[in-house]
Amino acid sequence: METAVAAPPLPAQTRAWQKVVAQYAKPNLRRSIWGLVNSFGPYLVLWVAMYFSLRVSYLLTLGLAVVAAGFMVRIFIILHDCGHGSYFKSGRANDIVGSISGIFAMTPFFSWRHNHALHHATSGDLDRRAAWDVPITYTVREYLKLPGWKKLVYRIYRHPVVLFGVAPTVLFIIAQRIPAATTGKRERWSVHFTNLALLAALLTLGYFIGYGAVLAIQLPVVIIGGTIGVWLFYIQHQFEDTYWEHSPEWEFADAALQGSSYYKLPRLLQWITGNIGLHHIHHLSVRIPNYALQACHDDNPEFQQVSTISMLGSLKCVSLRLWDEETQKLVSFAQVKRLRTA
């Protein structure tokens, strides 16, 4: 049985915004099917091309892996929309396509959907942070109270090499293969189903083209795709003027529009990433399909006055580690040290 997450109560102003976004929360069957074609089709073609490229040069294979990883991200966005029930009108269609997409994205659909619903219900709430919301963020006050060894662990965890190198690989290859004991039966079976499907694919492809070839193709795609995914999730919530509040003051609309960025990417990259950079719109209304997010943003000036981050600007966010409750900003370790010295 699926675990339900209660939606937070919405103040009057938020309800007014909900009426505005409701007109965009309508799946278009033609656009959804075309999204399947232009995501799965190129991914499969690139996978075959990578196999033949092994006979030429592995550098060529790795080059193709970067492009294939982009289409893996697009497939993940389809899974993401299906998880929110926004890709098709039919709940059954969302579950089927989401589960199939989860095999390609190496992500168990129902298990991921449960955790992601928790993220949306608690994003920006200092009193409801949890391990599944990567990256975990401490406040300055909490960090300064930690013993030395815990500070070191947090610093290592928040280091870019770990956060964008080690963590995505561990998450997609290992962590998502293990069902959490605290989730429901459907979520656990989702993990087992995805694992069995991946094993069947590995055994079948390995029999015909060799297990070494399968790993040489799939591993770089998963590692690169996973890194892109974690990077996007990080930038969408970890920026200087993001939003964090304790539960009594936490508000859904503020968390959506202030605590989620508009990651403004070049048109091609925005398409590859399924418009997920328009994250403030997505958090305000999860029922809007990815292909309708841009129209909702463009048509409503009130949604354009949000934190906009460019590709260059996003690099500056990497050093931000702690939430400063006094300045209401995300700050770096160096900034905390300077403040303490002053």
DSSP states of 73-84 as a string?
HHHHHHHHHHHT
**Least confident interval from 12-26, 97-111, 144-158, 167-181:** 12-26
CB 109 within 8 A of CB 187: no
Least confidently predicted of 13-22, 35-44, 178-187, 311-320: 13-22
Residue 306 has, within 13 A of its CA and on its CB side, a CA count of 33
Q: Are 236 and 260 in contact (CB under 8 A)?
A: yes
| pLDDT > 70: percent of the chain | 94
Burial group, residue 105, by CB count within 10 angstroms (0-12, 13-18, 19+): buried
What digits encode the pLDDT tens for the residues 227-254? 999 999 999 999 999 999 998 899 988 9
Least confident of 183-192, 275-284, 333-342: 333-342
Kind of pairing, strands 138-139 and 322-324? Answer: parallel
- Range name among 13-27, 46-60, 279-293 with the lowest pLDDT average: 13-27
d(Cα 176, Cα 76) in Å, to the nearest integer? 14
> In 10 A of CB 197, how many CB atoms?
17
Q: Which two tokens stand for residue 337?
A: 């040290």
Residue 135: asked if its preceding bond is cis (omega within 30°), the reply is yes
**CB within 8 Å of 72: residues ≥ 6 apart:** 43, 104, 105, 221, 222, 225
Vertex 162, ends 118 and 227: CA angle to 5°? Answer: 65
Residue 163 has pLDDT above 60, yes or no: yes
- The CA-CA-CA angle for residues 250, 256, 257, to 5°, reads 110
Cα atoms found within 13 Å of the Cα of residue 168, Cβ hemisphere only: 24
Model pLDDT, residue 182 = 81
Q: Which is nearest to 229 in space by CA: 125, 135, 328?
A: 135
Q: What is the pTM of this model?
A: 0.92
- Position 137 pLDDT exceeds 80: yes
> What is the signed CA dihedral for 47, 52, 56, 58, rounded to 10 degrees?
30
Residue 212 buriedness (CB in 10 A; 0-12 / 13-18 / 19+): exposed
Q: Give the pLDDT score at 10.
A: 44
Q: Does residue 2 surpass a pLDDT of 50? A: no
The stretches of 54-184 forming alpha helices (DSSP H) are 58-83, 91-104, 109-122, 140-145, 148-157, 160-161, 167-169
Q: pLDDT exceeding 90 applies to what percent of the chain?
A: 83
Q: Are 158 and 135 in contact (CB under 8 A)?
A: yes
Task: Name beta bridge partners: 263.
Answer: 309
At residue 19, the pLDDT reads 83
Residue 33 pLDDT > 60 = yes
Rounded alpha-carbon distances, angstroms, from residue 32 to 25, 75, 252, 274? 13, 12, 28, 12
pLDDT at residue 181, as a whole number: 82
Phi then psi for residue 238, to 5 deg, are -105, 80
Cα separation, 18 vs 10, whole angstroms: 9
How far apart, in whole angstroms, are the C-alpha atoms of residue 25 and residue 52? 42
